[in-house]
Amino acid sequence: MELSRLSRKEIINLHDGARLGFVGDSDLIIDDETGSIKSIIISPKGMKPRSGRELVIPWTSIKKIGDEVMIVDISPERSSRKHT
């Protein structure tokens, strides 16, 4: 899938139905050796990027990528953690 198509997808949490943001508004952590995406970093709405309260979603937590949304499974305890 092209990055431009991926960037338009809204990220939805399967666990609680929360709308977390859009892939295009997040940062991607890319594996230097394989070129694959390791994780997605989302800043909470209203927070500046790199504020220290980012949500890091491992690529393994992505359950489904549809036409308009990306479904992830993040528990409430996980989604409130600070990124260090």
The CATH number assigned to the domain holding 34 equals: 2.30.30.240
Backbone dihedral region for residue 10 (phi beyond 0: left; psi -120 to 50: alpha; all else: beta)? beta
Q: Is residue 51 part of a domain?
A: yes
Range of the domain at 36: 3-78
* pLDDT band at residue 38 using 50, 70 and 90 as cut-offs: very high
Give the pLDDT score at 48.
53
pLDDT tens, residue by residue, 48-78: 555 567 889 999 999 999 999 999 999 866 5
pLDDT tens digits, 39-51: 999 976 655 555 5
For residue 83, is it within any domain? no
Is residue 22 within 8 A of residue 34, CB to CB? The reply is no
Count of CB atoms within 10 A of residue 67's CB?
7
84 within a domain of the structure (yes/no): no
Higher pLDDT, 33 or 50: 33
29 lies in some domain: yes
pLDDT score of 84: 39
**Domain total in the chain:** 1
